[in-house]
Amino acid sequence: MDELFGIPLPLLFGQLLLGLINGAFYAMLSLGLAVIFGLLNVINFTHGAQFMMGAFAAWMLLNWFGVNYWFALILVPIIIGATGIVLEKLMISRLYKLDHLYGLLLTFGIGLVIEGVFRNEFGSSGLPYRIPPELSGAWDLGFMFMPVYRGWVVVFAAAVCLATWLVIEKTSLGANLRAATENPALVQAFGINVPRMVTLTYGAGVALAALGGVLAAPIYSVNPQMGSNLIIVVFAVVVIGGMGSILGSVITGFGLGIVEGLTKVFYPEASATVIFVIMIIVLLARPAGLFGRTA
């Protein structure tokens, strides 16, 4: 039994693992988008650039300051999250009274600026970020070799998603957040500082993207375009899942990663497009998305 439908099992499991890893990034990024959208009503087009900034921040910390991966995992989300807070205070907060589309255009412009600056500074070719020694090597699982770092990414990303879900669904902070999503004016009337909550939420969403960037740095080469290519797929993931449910966007993210991995095995030509095709099918069958409420 080392073949399934004529596909060698190591190949199948290898692609499944790659799919899970992509899915982990889809899940983390769409989670951040959903959290931000829930409270700000802004689709954060800068999300891809902030993911890329996370990877670069980890690279800079290591190469310029000698800060290792484990500290980067903590420091980078804080640093990039702080830049997000500044961004929200200075620019995004001015647009809440306007049509939501302006938020999209503004964050798109900011993303262009960030990507352009990094391209000038670092060029378009990728920079290597080596896997931390504690996580290098591979496990022999009997049916395949599993690089330790890849297993770590999947487990860690799943844990982060779960933690985010717990904070939003099970804590009083999360309860305030959900209430402010439903009716900000009423929550403000209860004496909760909603504008500050909005700012911190944006920072947290950005921090999630940056954390994803740190995780991605040793797997993908660190380059200025790494975010923009990913973010469009994540938009499709968000449309498929619907942004109404936190758990929904996590499940959709991982699920679509796996589907993409399987497509690479069975019909490689379609692997770049399969998520978009699924988006079309979902829109035709269930326009609100798999986990969405009708808009």
Partner 1 sequence: MASETTATGIVAIPEPTSDGSLWGFSRPQRIAFIVLLVFLGVAPFAGLYPVFLMKLLCFGLFACAFNLLIGYVGLLSFGHAAYFGMGGYIAGHTAKVMGVPPELAIILGGVVGAALGAVFGWVAIRRQGIYFAMITLALSQLVYFVCVQAPFTGGEDGIQAIPRGKLFGIIDLSPDLSMYWVVATVFVIGFLLVHRIVHSPFGMVMKAIKENEPRATSLGYRTDDYKLLAFILSAGLAGVAGATKSLVFGIATLTDVHWSMSGEVVLMTLVGGLGTVFGPLVGAAVIVTMQNYLAEWGAWVTVIQGGIFVACVLAFRRGIVGEIGALLRVKL
Return the number of the residue (117 or 186) whose C-beta is nearest partner 1. Answer: 117
Question: Are the C-beta atoms of 274 and 259 separated by less than 8 Å?
Answer: yes
- Asked if 277 touches partner 1 (CB under 8 A), the answer is yes
From 69, 235, 254, 291, residue interacting with partner 1 (rule: CB under 8 A): 235
- Asked if 283 touches partner 1 (CB under 8 A), the answer is yes
Which residue in the block uniquely carries the two structure tokens 């499944």? 16
- Residue 233's nearest CA partner among 42, 52, 22 is 22
3-state helix, strand, coil in the chain (%, to 5): 75, 5, 20
- Residue 42's nearest CA partner among 165, 183, 201, 190 is 201
Q: Cβ of residue 84: shortest distance to partner 1, in angstroms?
A: 15
Q: Cβ of residue 124: shortest distance to partner 1, in angstroms?
A: 8
Question: Are the C-beta atoms of 207 and 54 separated by less than 8 Å?
Answer: no
In angstroms, the CA 59 to CA 98 distance is 38
Q: Which residues contact 263 (CB under 8 A, 6 or more apart)?
A: 270, 271, 274
Only one of the segments 22-30, 152-160, 190-198, 282-290 lies at the binding site for partner 1 (rule: CB under 8 A); that segment is 282-290
- Asked if 232 touches partner 1 (CB under 8 A), the answer is yes
- Asked if 37 touches partner 1 (CB under 8 A), the answer is yes
- Asked if 276 touches partner 1 (CB under 8 A), the answer is yes
CA distances from 38 to 43, 138, 166, 201, 208 (A): 9, 40, 16, 10, 15
Q: Cβ of residue 35: shortest distance to partner 1, in angstroms?
A: 15
- Asked if 290 touches partner 1 (CB under 8 A), the answer is no
- Asked if 40 touches partner 1 (CB under 8 A), the answer is no
From 12, 16, 43, 80, residue interacting with partner 1 (rule: CB under 8 A): 43
- Asked if 239 touches partner 1 (CB under 8 A), the answer is yes
Return the number of the residue (85 or 131) whose C-beta is nearest partner 1. Answer: 85
Hey, what are 107's tokens?
């964050």
CA atoms within 13 Å, Cβ hemisphere of 91: 16
Site string for partner 1, 254-273 (x = CB under 8 A): ---------------x--xx
- Quote the radius of gyration of the chain (alpha carbons, Å): 19
In angstroms, the CA 22 to CA 12 distance is 15
Only one of the segments 133-141, 154-162, 183-191, 229-237 lies at the binding site for partner 1 (rule: CB under 8 A); that segment is 229-237
User: Which residues in the 93-132 window bind partner 1 by CB under 8 A?
Assistant: 94-95, 98, 100-102, 104-106, 108-117, 119-120
CA distances from 279 to 69, 199, 242 (A): 36, 31, 11
Q: By the criterion CB under 8 A, which residues form the site for partner 1? A: 37, 43, 91, 94-95, 98, 100-102, 104-106, 108-117, 119-120, 228, 232-233, 235-236, 238-239, 269, 272-273, 276-277, 279-280, 283-284, 287, 295
